[in-house]
Chain A
């Protein structure tokens, strides 16, 4: 012990670890706010609440209240992650009989999974995917077809949906792997338009009317039945919510581990300077296809489950415009920031559903939102921090 390795000896006294409490406080406020927003029906009140949120965010940002929250999330990730799961369950528990709200929550969870997939592709590898909704749709159609015509267990169907999206995505990217710049973006735009047309003219897949999707059944237990435990009635969406939550936690851990690994470093290095990275042995083609495939796998699984949740798939649900919404979630939350993506998905999915008056104008709202964010907070609501390998680890 006396002969301690001089390299390992700390040079500076380590700063105290960030406190848990700012993170906890932020989570409690966010949960209470979300419950209120979801419970309120009057349009004026909802607008007031939204205005309040914007003012509160700007004020907190000005007063420097956001920094301690971000620090505590960065360094106490496990505890706050577990609390965030509890927060979602608390919101779901509050609305346990409300089909509409629970469906909204499931949508948020599954869109977050899809956006985490996009985040691997665009945020880390720099491969722009403008066909996110198409790969989501591939997953959903996989559920529709397999659930109707085969006896494949439904959990395996989710996996197949993911694999199919990953496979089609990698075939799509192969021809442009050697190119630089935005060829991948162009190819995905073409694919998004093509897939929708293909689905519309294909009678086997239901044409423009789409297909019904049979609900999920695991070991004979149907997810589409309402649940009652000891006199408490729960909406059937509760089971979907639990499964979506599991999927999201898995995807979140995967993305965090990926970022904090040599692969995450490869993806960042490649995005920032492909030539320099190549001179140090990195093979850009390999990592582009890895990131694209992994991302589409997540998107496909989320889509497959979403198909079963909604019970219905149609070409119109998976258009180029929907892909743009997914990309705008990424821009809004902060490119490369998983927590930011989660927050942005809540905003983009929940706000238009609650503000019925703006339904018609929601694309206008997204456009405005993205422009405002790019102008005033170009790195997104929760900018990506400098890469770290272990949460809370200090030199």
Chain B
């Protein structure tokens, strides 16, 4: 690949006490690709997301995104740079409505001024109407049924709908890079494949949004990723097409244990 990577991590290291959650990790994410990030539990996949999005500090290494250095940037700065994510354990605000949850993701497009919000109610109304149409259109791609329930609390919805809303929240402001942390967790096989189809459909509309996907469901990885990176104990042990990676001896040992 000759294109410059959209996201580039070099020598990324994160320790928790004596545990090396991520050790000297290098990865390039190229524009337009879907990169799978796989590995056994505790291998550092979610840590990588948390480090990139600024939730955790970095002990060593560098991260560049879209030509800018985002090493040690705050979560707010990372969001504004154009990276959006979902969480492994759904982190929606359950008492809030679908619309509200999606609008949380739309933060940078909404006018946050005190004067605007309190005094200019007509202008606020226009922004509200615009946001309502945008969120409705996005939700309809995933599940038209939900579009009529935009003002119902998310807490009333089943898991698959919550996942959909979480992805809508990440997509509403058209990020350049989407980090999906185990979207299939807590869902059946069919629900997962339905969700993946929806994601691909949205992706086509968003001129080939770049995605990094953490997933345990290998069927999903095989079907939608262009490339895979395998982590074990915080270190990269393999990289390449799914079939190549799956055939890798080290990878098999990481998942199944070394042959006696």
B100 → A minimal CB distance (Å): 6
Q: Tell me whether A273 and B114 are in contact in the complex, defined as CB-CB below 8 angstroms, given that A279-B53, A280-B79, A280-B169 are known contacts.
A: no
| Residue from the list B79, B114, B152 in contact with A279, Cβ < 8 A | B79
A7 touches B117 (CB 8 A): no
Q: How large is the interface on B (under 10, 10 to 19, 20 to 34, 35 or more residues)?
A: 35 or more
Q: Is the CB of B100 within 8 A of A258?
A: no
Asked whether, in the complex, the Cβ of A268 is within 8 Å of the Cβ of B93, the reply is: yes
Q: Which of A12, A265, A386 contacts B153 (CB 8 A)?
A: A386
In the bound assembly, the distance between CA atoms of A258 and B112 in angstroms comes to 11
* B217 interfacial contact with A, CB 8 Å: no
In contact, A262 and B76 (Cβ under 8 angstroms): no
In the complex, whether B235 has a CB less than 8 A from a CB of chain A is: no
Residue B95 lies at the interface, judged by CB distance under 8 Å to chain A:
yes
How many A-B contacts if CB must be within 8 Å?
100
Question: Nearest Cβ in chain B — how far from A7, in angstroms?
Answer: 5
The stretch of B23-31, B61-69, B120-128, B206-214 in contact with A is: B120-128
Q: 1/0 contact trace for A251-271 toward B, CB 8 Å?
A: 000100110011111101100
Say whether B76 contacts A282, CB under 8 Å.
Answer: yes
Note all chain B residues with C-beta closer than 8 A to A269: 93, 96, 100, 104
Whether A283 contacts B76 by the Cβ 8 Å rule is yes
Q: Range of interface residues on chain A?
A: 20 to 34
Inside 8 A of A48's CB, which chain B residues have their CB? none
Taking a contact as CB atoms closer than 8 A, the residue among A11, A262, A272, A290 that contacts B110 in the complex is A262
Residue in A278, A290, A388 whose Cβ sees the most chain B Cβ within 10 Å: A278
Contact residue among A268, A275, A280 (Cβ-Cβ distance under 8 Å from B96): A268
Question: What are 27 residue pairs bridging A and B, where the CB atoms are less than 8 Å apart in the complex?
Answer: A7-B136, A11-B148, A261-B117, A261-B124, A262-B103, A262-B111, A263-B118, A265-B100, A265-B103, A265-B104, A266-B112, A268-B100, A272-B96, A276-B92, A276-B104, A277-B104, A278-B76, A279-B53, A279-B78, A280-B104, A280-B105, A280-B107, A281-B80, A387-B97, A388-B151, A389-B128, A395-B151
Contacts A279-B84, A282-B104 given; 18 further ones with Cβ under 8 A? A261-B118, A262-B103, A262-B110, A269-B93, A269-B100, A272-B93, A273-B91, A275-B91, A276-B87, A276-B104, A278-B74, A280-B79, A280-B104, A281-B107, A386-B95, A386-B151, A389-B128, A395-B150
